[in-house]
Amino acid sequence: MAETIVTPLRPKRPCPECGRPSQRATFPFCSPRCKDIDLNRWLSGAYAIPVRDEEEDEQETLPGESERS
């Protein structure tokens, strides 16, 4: 019989938290612990994209300079 080589569906990547090899059950993480650490960062807002308030934008315009519509 000829052996067939099975190509994995996902490339092997290191865990984004600790760098160890990822596991199938917790992909892309290596363990439930690393998965929970990442989830906690998302839920606590650590991964939030900073935004600027409209008030800050208005204050940055120079005095005497009119805003164009």
pLDDT tens for residues 48-63? 888 887 766 566 665 6
For the residues 11-26, what does the mean pLDDT come to?
90
Decide if pLDDT at 47 tops 80: yes
Decide if pLDDT at 37 tops 70: yes
18 annotated to a ligand binding site: yes
For the residues 23-33, what does the mean pLDDT come to?
93
The pair phi, psi for residue 68, each rounded to 5°, is: -90, 140
Q: Cβ(35)–Cβ(26) under 8 Å?
A: yes
42 annotated to a ligand binding site: no
12 annotated to a ligand binding site: no
Q: Cβ(50)–Cβ(30) under 8 Å?
A: no
30 annotated to a ligand binding site: yes
What is the per-residue DSSP string for 14-66? B-TTT-SBP-GGGTTSSSHHHHHHHHHHHHHTTTPPP---HHHHHHHSPTTPP
What is the reported pLDDT for 44? 93
pLDDT confidence tier of residue 36, bands split at 50, 70 and 90: very high
